[in-house]
Amino acid sequence: MIVVNQLLTGYDSKYINTLYLDRRFSSPEQYVQAISRTNRVLNDQKQMGQVVYYRLCQSVKEDIEKAFDIYSNENIAQKIFISDIENNIAQMNEIFSEIKKVFESTNIKNFSSAPQNKSGKRKFVNEFNKLAKLYRIISLQLFNWDTW
Instruction: Say what the pLDDT of residue 2 is.
Output: 53
3-state secondary structure string across the chain:
CCCCHHHCCCCCCCCCCEEEECCCCCCHHHHHHHHHCCCCCCECCECCCEEEECCCHHHHHHHHHHHHHHHCCCCCHHHHCCCCHHHHHHHHHHHHHHHHHHHHHCCCCCCCCCCCCHHHHHHHHHHHHHHHHHHHHHHHCCCCHHHC
Instruction: Say what the pLDDT of residue 118 is.
Output: 93
Instruction: Say what the pLDDT of residue 11 is.
Output: 65
Instruction: Say what the pLDDT of residue 129 is.
Output: 93
Is the Cβ–Cβ distance between 134 and 88 less than 8 Å? yes
Instruction: Say what the pLDDT of residue 147 is.
Output: 75
For the chain, list residues with pLDDT below 70.
Answer: 1-13, 75-79, 148
pTM over 0.75: no
